[in-house]
Structure 1
């Protein structure tokens, strides 16, 4: 029954999707279908364990990459994502082989980096907690955490400002930018907001819990929210709680040589026409140059 409901939802999404520019139709379809596929995987399977690295020296980059519209998605025979495309290009320019290990949860990615099962995590914005543990590349693109909630009968958000969250609980994924932002909101406003962090739920899962009425509020990435909200007008992300954040690649603090290579390559590539074309292809907003 769940599979039938998911297929019906996918077909409805495809019928309603009418991009203004014909050239983007295929891309939108891929992104929307990838979202549905990710939600199904959350219900039906556990993420595969990350394989340990083997061999000596560095001739292969192993990258733990998260399922998001900007980072990585799979639909049929198509694999895409801005992080995915850029890392492949960087590895080629550096004469390295690249191996991607798709993950659903951020905690899984960071655990893999800590245990040396991967070399790079793509992608996260820097936070005070993570800056003390990892080296971050310069910003690659921006995304904005948004508050997902139901609309009132008059169409307006239940919580019109962060102050309206006082005494309530907001759900976030552990290690996500949403977690840091909501703790900052509570401090900035002096409001008693409980922040529930989940190791085992990503943005799609949290959105589904709000949609099903299991929780009242969740903060997720703006890019995935924009896709999911197309099919759920009863929900809204209209209440602003954050500004756009730059997303970066992470490496271990001890891996200074790899970090230097990444920074050097990004310093040249991000100013190129090829980068601008990639960002436009995925609808990503480039981060400001450092």
Structure 2
């Protein structure tokens, strides 16, 4: 009887082991190529998969051929060229860009991701390769000179973005924050009168100003100055060093400034 029970227990353990091994093999077979961890693995793969926003012009947009373009796209291409590999640009959104990275759907993010202490707990950031100012942008007629003036106002913002964090931190009780999937949706809400103002970068504000009648909107006040870094999964020390070297070298030789001038028509800011 004891031997019979032992045999049954062994058979059950063995079966569980086989199932576990089979599941592991299945998961391994379905794991995306973007899980490469080292520079050598990325070079062996021959392609760098990079997530980027395409709704944040001029940092990220879609060109006339419906392909990702913009400052981030050019930085991604320059990085891939530096590593001697091809690049695959994967459109992401503000809310899903970090999950895309952490679930190995992309190797890196060059996605206008602002460096914040909260995000640094999830991802590893390179030295800044870009900067942007986050402002409250609204009607010229609106008396919005400070956060306290937002009481009773409807303010739009892209969900889970740096501007969302910055706005939420200063919004007074009574302010109605309406969160949208992306900057484009927040822009449209402002243009259609669904909100009184939006929290956005100065580049997004410039896009809104171009689409609206002259002198309709203006920057009301500064919410935050942010710098953006290339993001990778934690624990990739070699890759971090490689990308930091890339940023340092291409800042010093003026290549990043050329790209910044091309897309933002101003010099790359001095960044810490």
The 2-side partners of 1:52 and 1:197 are apart by 37
Q: Is the 8 A contact 1:64 1:101 kept in 2?
A: yes
TM-score under structure 1 length normalisation: 0.71
Partner of 2:149: 164
Match of 1:222 in 2: 202
Unaligned ranges ≥5, structure 1: 1-50
**Contact preservation (8 Å) 2:140, 2:218:** no
Q: Which segments of 5 or more consecutive residues in structure 2 lack a partner in the other structure?
A: 1-29
Larger radius of gyration: 2
Aligned equivalents of 1:208, 1:201: Cα separation in 2:
12
List aligned pairs for 1:144-155, cutoff 5 A. 144-152=133-141
**Given that residues 246 and 287 in structure 1 are in contact (C-alpha distance below 8 angstroms), is that contact kept between their aligned partners in structure 2?**
no
8 Å CA contact retained: 2:61, 2:70: yes
Asked if structure 2 preserves the Cα contact closer than 8 Å seen for 1:71 and 1:81, the reply is: yes
2:162 matches 1:177: yes
Residues 106 and 285 of structure 1: is their aligned pair in 2 closer, same or farther, counting only changes over 3 Å?
A: farther
Contact 2:133 2:226 in 1 (8 A): yes
1:54 aligns with 2:36: no
Are the aligned partners of 1:170 and 1:193 in contact in 2 as well (CA < 8 Å)?
Answer: no
Which among 68, 71, 95 is matched to residue 107 of structure 1? 95
Q: Secondary structure at the match of 1:107?
A: coil
Matched residues in 1 for 2:86 and 2:167: separation? 39
Matches within 5 A, 1:1-290: 53-54=32-33, 57-58=41-42, 59=45, 60-67=47-54, 68-77=56-65, 80-103=69-92, 105-121=93-109, 122-152=111-141, 157-186=142-171, 191-192=172-173, 194=175, 196=177, 198=179, 201-232=181-212, 233=214, 235-283=216-264, 285-290=267-272
Q: Is the contact made by 1:203 and 1:221 (CA closer than 8 Å) also made in structure 2?
A: no
User: What is the root-mean-square deviation of aligned Cα atoms in Å?
Assistant: 2.5
Shift of 1:63: 0.7
Counterpart Cα distance in 2 of 1:256 and 1:79 = 28
Tell me by how many angstroms 1:289 deviates. Answer: 4.3
Paired residue secondary structure (1:267): helix
Once the two structures are TM-superposed, the CA of residue 206 in structure 1 deviates from its matched residue by 0.5
Identify the residue that residue 32 of structure 1 maps to in structure 2.
none
TM-score by length of 2: 0.75
Q: Deviations over 1:172-217 (max 9, x none)?
A: 222311122113324xxxx32646463x521121111122122223
Identify if the C-alpha distance between structure 1 residues 256 and 195 changes in structure 2 by more than 3 Å, giving closer, same or farther: farther
Q: 1:185 to 1:93 in 2, by over 3 A?
A: same
Q: How far does residue 88 in structure 1 lie from its aligned partner after superposition? A: 1.1
- Change beyond 3 A, Cα 1:257–1:80: same
C-alpha distance in 2 between matches for 1:112 and 1:63: 10
